[in-house]
Structure 1
Amino acid sequence: MTKSAYVALVTCFNEDETLNYEATRAQVRRQVEAGNNILCAGTNGDFSALTFDEKVKLTEEVVDEVAGKVKVIVNAGMPATFETLKLAKEFDRIGVDGIAVITPFFIACTQDGLIRHYHTVADGVSTPIYLYDIPARTQNHIEPETAAKLADHPNIAGIKDSGGAKETLEAYMAVGKAKEGFEVYSGPDHLVHWALQNGAAGCISGLGNVMPNVLARIVSCYNAGAEAGAAAAQEAYTGMRVDLYKLGFPPAMVKRALWVMDHSVGASRQPALLPDPEQDKEIEAILKKFELI
């Protein structure tokens, strides 16, 4: 099957912390030009800092800008099933290609609770649902056995794994091989090429905001059978990841690196990372090393 690259798109803000839709549209155009699909309102998109209405408006703007050129998945996940379903129904109305649902956060869930949560959302919309596992942020983890049960639902189409452990990703990919129509997308930036080689349908990457063409090259080279080219692009991608992420929380570093490249993206809403001139100099040096500025 042809593999796909999605970028977990940043959300752009004005100086007064209102959403900057025009700057966000510019970032969408940049990804479309590179050939990447879009994940909207995910971890890198500051979804937890956005209101219900802002998520709906943001999705409308992104879908309008994409204009069918690439696919759009949007994250609807919230702590309560009630609000998650309300959001999912809005995204269903707008017309996206998929709805990602990050595991509930703050509320501790049993595996049975997760199954009820996902079944309720998947039953309530016609758009395909993608599970979204990032236990380091939500403290709730979709066990591979639970993913296998959820894969039997006719409207659950796959999973985004952002746990970072190869063993878990391998277990999810085993589910994908056993359950026809259940796609596995790798989240960790350093595992893109490896995941493609081992059965993933593609990747959903935050670092692609900074290196859209390199991410696209990993996937396009793999699809073309040019393994050496994919490996070389992955090496550059991993190198950037190592250098940038050692400076702090990865989504914050991605947003800040993008800000150094283009101030129009703005900072994130407080209490997110504040500007640090010394850190910005380090980020600038990394961007120059990888010939991004």
Structure 2
Amino acid sequence: MEGMNPLGAALRAWRDRLDPATAGLPHGSARRVPGLRRSELASLADISVEYVVRLEQGRVAAPSPQVCASLARALRLTGEEHAHLLRLAGHAADPRRVPRHVPDSLLRIMDELAANPLSVYDATWGLLHWNPLFAATFGDPARLGPADRNALVWQFLDAMPAPVRQTADERTAFEESLVADLRATTSRFPADPGVAALVARLERSPRFRELWGRPSVGGHESAHKVVGHPDVGDIALNSDTLTTQGGNLHLVVYTARPGTDARGKLDLLAAVGVQAVSARG
């Protein structure tokens, strides 16, 4: 029977609990049931509706930790609830693995900073969450597969979702700090197979191999770049990285570079950019 398995029952209860407005969904027609529809959860978690149905009916043996993380973000679960979801799915919450749960507290901070492009990355620089202005500025990451939503993949494997320019010195500093940050991650989470898989993938890049051969260990904190936007032209941005202590998550805040017209262009994209992104799709 539907909803009788513990995982399915928990997902249904969390889906019923979440106010669609809290999840950022527009107000629509009257709802027969509270909370999110299955189709809405599927869209927010970037999985198919059919997969949500099978999860709730207990017809999926073991959804992956990545799927669990996507569901936790979509359902706005707490850290404890995310750990419970992992256990129900057959995965013990392992402190040696890279955390990928974006807590409500970080989402609230993003809401307060919504006038700027914002993105949240895990310790391997995998993109977990972004706001509408980030998508309007850099291109919608939802068009990429989950494995390609990674700042290191964008930088070293020429998979950048938007044309971004840096001076030679800026690019060098950016790449060196990213690689040093990734090296620190390998020692913090040595048991996470995703870390080793990412390094192996990046080693297809000669530039990454060169930097990976150095002993540098550090953290990525800031960068400068110019985004070549198809609708508003060049946008000169500074980026600053705020890292959470418990989850090793990186909140990247993009701000207009002083002395440029970037602020006005961001304001324009905030007003019409989401519609423009949708139209280009």
TM-score, with structure 2 as normaliser: 0.29
- Structure with max Cα Rg: 2
- Greater relative contact order (Cα < 8 A, sep 6+): 1
TM-score, with structure 1 as normaliser: 0.28
